[in-house]
Amino acid sequence: MPKKKQKVRFHKGDKRPGGKALQEKDLYYTKKMIKKGKKILWHIIEHPSKRIVKECFFEEDASDFVKFQNKHKVWLINGGIPDFLCLKGEKRAWLLVKTTV
């Protein structure tokens, strides 16, 4: 006897089941150039939380970190890098942008 195939119809705009858990496309990292005094530094920003994860002097270090994290998604299970591993003084990138504008 052939097995019945379950037919589930999805309509345009329907969301897939799974809740609000972080998906692979949601977590990504970018680098941004920042000037502090006379120094030029590179901040690595985690999205969608917009947390500053790391501060680098060289652009190559920042781009290597960003490429690795975007490729392997190491912290995806935990919902991103934990707060205690991020920069303490400047946790949020949007606060930094608001104060400079």
9-31 pLDDT per residue, tens: 767 666 665 555 667 778 999 99
Domains of the chain, by residue range, sit at 28-100
| Residue matched to tokens 């920003």 | 45
Q: What is the pTM of this model?
A: 0.67
Q: What is the pLDDT of residue 78?
A: 85
Mean pLDDT of the chain: 82
pLDDT: is 61 or 93 the higher one? 61
pLDDT: is 5 or 43 the higher one? 43
SS3 at position 24: coil
Name every residue whose Cβ is closer than 8 Å to that of residue 85 and which is 6 or more positions away in sequence.
53
